[in-house]
Structure 1
Amino acid sequence: MSNLIQNEMMKLISKKRLVVIALIIGVLVALFTYAQFKQVQTQREKLGTSDWRTIVQKQIVDMTNRLSSTGISDEWKKEIKISIKQEQYYLDHDINPTAPGAPTFVRIFLENSIGLFIPLMVMVIASDLVSSEHGLGTIKLLLTRPVKRWKVLLSKYFTLILAVSLIVAIAGILSYVISGFVFGFRGWGAPILTGFNVTNNGLNTSNVKLLSLWQFLLMDFGLVWYVAVVVGTLSFMLSVLIRSTAAGMGVMLAALISGAILSNMVSSWQSAKYLFMVNLQLTDYLAGNPPPIEGMTLAFSMIVLLIWWAAALLVSFLVFTKKDVY
């Protein structure tokens, strides 16, 4: 098995897709860092201060004024009221929700890339692992070796898990290093609140806990890795079912983009909460953001994704071990 995994990793490295993905992440992180820097600079010029309390107070005033505007839906008003309560909670407990530093940037970057960007990077690798063997005509050579089919596929899946772990690690390292040159490398011990719970009555703060930023980041990285593995497994299944890499990538790309759109539109469609793409924003639960559909929780979303993962893995092995190769 170790030799099979080594062989698969060598094939993956020879295609240089990990290098391309690292370059893409690096370029985007640099752009996001610059955008964040300009945003901080604009806030300081607009308010004439860098005091986070003044900035938070101004945000609360702006959101309160928006509530009185006409044309805002009841759902949007509910989200604004929850955000106001969160910001007020930070003020009352003297905790800066956006303490400057590279660790804070890493947290923001992960929270904004878990639903689409990281899954897209993973999809590029996973959609090609099996279908490329058909495209290159090497699938027959691969299966004529004295190794059982399930072992061949398992080695490819283990290679996928290693690639997913590398992509998440690359995203974390590059976002920390690049942003650190602009915002500084300190801030691992900065306090951050988690445990906000959105209920029918608004924001529940009874379970709020104070953590160090490094502890919060560990949870963020764990959730990002979990989502990346699930999306990678689904893309892996498509790579087994569809012999065309482009077609497999197209299907998964459509699913991910539709998920990003549906998350903002499915509040009244209860059954949509069982779709995997509606459950990808796991870090939102840590931040206390309202779920796409009322009643959804972190545990619920993780279980739904786990079921999709198990089903995709089962289908992949059943099809690969049974289907004819020609």
Structure 2
Amino acid sequence: MNRLLPLIQNETLKIWRKKRFYVVILVLLVLIPIFTYAQMKVAENNREKFSDWRNQTLQQINDYQNALSSDRVPEEWKRFRRIAVQQLQYYLDHDVNPTTPDGVTFTRGFMANSVTLFYPLLVLAIASDLISGERTTGTIKMLLTRPVRRWKILLSKWIALTFYVSLIIVASGILCYLIAGAIFGYGGWQMPIFTGFSISGSNVDSTYVHAVPQWLYILMQAGLIWFAQMVVAAIALMVSVLIRSTSASIVTMMAAVIAGTILANMSSSWQSAKYLFSVNINMTGYLAGSPPPIEGMTLGFSLATLTVWAAAALIVSFTVFTKQDILN
């Protein structure tokens, strides 16, 4: 342990000096105001068209129902709309506005929409060249000449990576709340959010639906996002160990994440796709009651699948790193 702590400090400082995290913060500072402005324009348009949120929700339900009667809409899209109609009707019956414009609601929406692509790309900015980058610069050779076991070196990198993944999620949530709150207000922490919808085909079972305050919902959401991004980080670490080229390592992981996002929207009829890590990343959808990418998938299934992927990636990383010839 005495030797591990200095290694962790060293790895944390190395990532910090690369200034990748500064780039992540800069990206957030540029994109969040743009999304906030877009949300503000949507809220203004809705205020002009509808006298209150109930009329807006009723209009949305009518639009979905009209789409269901159209032959031009694919059956898969109709399934999503049938589910959305039932959920919106549930909010309407319980007199809860599902789209209240405030800083907390914006933060919840931003984090939910970022889990499958935006957050993974931010994580890859930190993780994708953790080992391959040091091979390119030659610093890994200097590190391995020290009287420290290799598994401790890789463990220190993993712990440092865990710290930065956590920091990315926390920083994005704080920046969202501060920037959006300046426009929409900083309230909304106690607003009730319904969770517990059970999806079966095109039917929504509301037996276990219950309301939780929005602050608790965001905590649950952030926990699922953190777990999903740690799986992405573990796989990125494995790719960085297996592939010597920094550019190849980055491109490989970016291709896997982007292809997985596309596949998640197209894989409803391919049952075996549910075992891919990228199809299971969006676990926040289970909280919101969104239909899973493939029928039959549950939160427990996605957690178990991602756990297997992360464990396998870490086992491969530590096994290969401790045995491969890096010095030559």
TM range (shorter): over 0.9
Letter in 2 for 1:198: I
Which residue is 2:145 aligned to?
Answer: 144
Listed as ranges, the matches of 1:147-162 within 5 Å are 147-162=148-163
Which residue is 2:108 aligned to?
Answer: 107
Choose which of 29, 35, 38 in structure 2 pairs with 1:35.
Answer: 38
Listed as ranges, the matches of 1:9-28 within 5 Å are 9-28=12-31
Which residue is 1:196 aligned to?
Answer: 197
Which deviates more from structure 2 when the two are superposed, residues 225-234 or residues 93-102? 93-102
Q: CA RMSD in A?
A: 0.9
Letter in 2 for 1:32: F
Normalised to the residue count of structure 1, the TM-score between the two structures is 0.98
CA distance in 1, matches of 2:258, 2:27: 19
CA distance in 1, matches of 2:26, 2:15: 16
Q: Cα deviation per residue 1:130-161 (whole Å; 9 max; x = unaligned)?
A: 11110101111110001000000100000000
Report the CA distance between 1:191 and its aligned residue: 0.6
CA distance in 2, matches of 1:165, 1:75: 35
Which residue is 1:95 aligned to?
Answer: 96
Which residue is 1:259 aligned to?
Answer: 260
Which residue is 1:217 aligned to?
Answer: 218
Report the CA distance between 1:200 and its aligned residue: 2.8
Report the CA distance between 1:201 and its aligned residue: 5.6
Letter in 1 for 2:268: S
Which residue is 1:123 aligned to?
Answer: 124
Q: Percent identity over the alignment?
A: 53
Letter in 2 for 1:183: F
CA distance in 1, matches of 2:153, 2:187: 45
Which residue is 1:2 aligned to?
Answer: 5
Which deviates more from structure 2 when the two are superposed, residues 137-146 or residues 69-78? 69-78
Which residue is 2:297 aligned to?
Answer: 296
Secondary structure at the aligned position of 1:226 is classed as helix
CA distance in 1, matches of 2:66, 2:112: 27
Letter in 2 for 1:19: Y
CA distance in 2, matches of 1:269, 1:317: 33
CA distance in 2, matches of 1:77, 1:118: 29
Aligned pairs, how many?
324
CA distance in 1, matches of 2:249, 2:31: 25
Which residue is 2:184 aligned to?
Answer: 183
CA distance in 2, matches of 1:256, 1:129: 18
Q: Cα deviation per residue 1:180-213 (whole Å; 9 max; x = unaligned)?
A: 1011011100011001111036111111011000
Normalised to the residue count of structure 2, the TM-score between the two structures is 0.97
Secondary structure at the aligned position of 1:107 is classed as helix
Unaligned runs of 5+ in 2: none
CA contact (8 A) 2:82 2:202 kept: no
Letter in 2 for 1:165: S
CA contact (8 A) 2:83 2:202 kept: no
CA contact (8 A) 2:43 2:101 kept: no
CA distance in 1, matches of 2:82, 2:140: 57
Which residue is 1:248 aligned to?
Answer: 249
Unaligned runs of 5+ in 1: none
CA distance in 2, matches of 1:281, 1:251: 21
Q: Cα deviation per residue 1:290-319 (whole Å; 9 max; x = unaligned)?
A: 101000001101110000000000000000
CA distance in 1, matches of 2:181, 2:10: 37
Letter in 1 for 2:162: I
CA distance in 1, matches of 2:183, 2:150: 50
Misfit runs of 4+, over 2 Å: none
CA distance in 2, matches of 1:266, 1:2: 44
